[in-house]
Every structure is written in C-alpha cells, then in structure tokens.
Chains A and B, each alone.
Chain A
Amino acid sequence: NAGVTQTPKFRVLKTGQSMTLLCAQDMNHEYMYWYRQDPGMGLRLIHYSVGEGTTAKGEVPDGYNVSRLKKQNFLLGLESAAPSQTSVYFCASRRSTGTGAHEQYFGPGTRLTVT
C-alpha cells in the first residue's frame, strides 16, 4: 500500500515549456486535490476532483489544467510554464464516506523550478 505518490519529485523547466505532474493513489479514494505551497503563503488549492471524470477549480487555478480519467490518477498540467509557477506541488486524496472519510492523505510533493 503506497498511499499517495507523485512523479516527478523534482523538475526544472524553462519559461514557456509544458509538463504534467502525476498523482496516483491506491486507497480507492473518491476525492483528490492539487495544492501549491509557497513560502509565507501556506498551501493553496489549485484544482480538485470529487470523482472519476470530474474536476473543479480551487483558489488559484489560472495557468493549470487537470484531468481525472481514472479514479486512482489525478494529473496536473502546465501548458506554458511561468516563473510564478515555481513552487512545491502537493497532491492529496480522501474518501467520501465511511470511517476516516474526511481525513486528507498527502503525497511527498513535487519541487518545480521555472527559470
């Protein structure tokens, strides 16, 4: 049981390049979230999904797209990276019902630098 995994762990992009961050969970959780963490600003929600095939915008969605084609995977895409997107990105998941349903489980993070 790996929990929540994220790939890659580190990445350096040039301005204008694109990339996709992958989040995978093996806990059969319905809800998945993408956050970014910046110094002094805490974690901010980018996009989230309440089930396979659904996505919704969070607090800071501009410049990002997401897809949830399979229940276990949640992809975060940057179409044209900007230096302002330099951050640490965290994925989280949780169940929708049952014991422990509201507890979020986090991945180890992806450290992205855009030059």
Chain B
Amino acid sequence: KQEVTQIPAALSVPEGENLVLNCSFTDSAIYNLQWFRQDPGKGLTSLLLIQSSQREQTSGRLNASLDKSSGRSTLYIAASQPGDSATYLCAVRSGGTYKYIFGTGTRLKVLA
C-alpha cells in the first residue's frame, strides 16, 4: 500500500531564502507525482506535475525533482517571498490505478 510522507510538517524561513520541501513515498512504481499549494480555507492549486519518466519540472521560481529509486521528490523554492506562505502538498499516483495518495503537507511561513 502506497504511503506518502512530508517532513517537516511546518517550516518558517526569512524572506529571500532558498528552501527545499520533501515528499517521500513507499512504493516506487508510481505513474506521476503532483505538487500542490493550499492557502488557508481554500482549495488546492496545482504547481507542478512530474511523470515517472521525468527527473524534474520547473515553473518560475519552483523546481520539482523526482527520484523513484529512493522514493523521494523535492520541491525547491528559490528566493522565497511572504506570498509563498501556504501549505504545500504532494500527491502520488501509483501505476495501474486512477487514485492519488496525498501527503499531509508542509505548512510554510515566509517571514518579511
């Protein structure tokens, strides 16, 4: 059974810092992995999606990498800003299924 873990659960950093969020999964036979952002009281917004055949995806200041063999994905945020404060979730779709398994998220606070 696929399990997805995100550590740390919460993180506070000063503005301008580069930071890395982690997502670990137990079954390496994944189809794809998606990173989301969730603002308080809001729905989820897709940030990046990495297919199993890809090693990384980039969008603006965000870069997501995938290492299936180690069961790990990282989301790199460059030059963090207070507007980046939110909860970041990763979701894994295992091969042969339509289902996505979510991590519990990392709550990020960027201090001005």
Contact = CB atoms under 8 A, between A and B. Distances in A.
Contacts of A43: 44, 89, 91, 102
Interface of A: 4, 31, 33, 35, 40-45, 48, 50, 56, 58-59, 90, 92, 102-109
Contacts of A102: 31-32, 34, 49, 51, 93
A109 B91 CA distance: 18
Interface in B12-40: 31-32, 34, 36
B43 A48 contact: no
Contact of B34 (A35, A45, A104): A104
Contact of A90 (B43, B51, B101, B105): B43
A59 B91 CA distance: 14
A41 B89 CA distance: 12
Given A42-B105, A45-B100, A108 B43 contact: yes
A31 B30 CA distance: 19
B1 to A, nearest CB: 10
B81 interface: no
B39 to A, nearest CB: 11
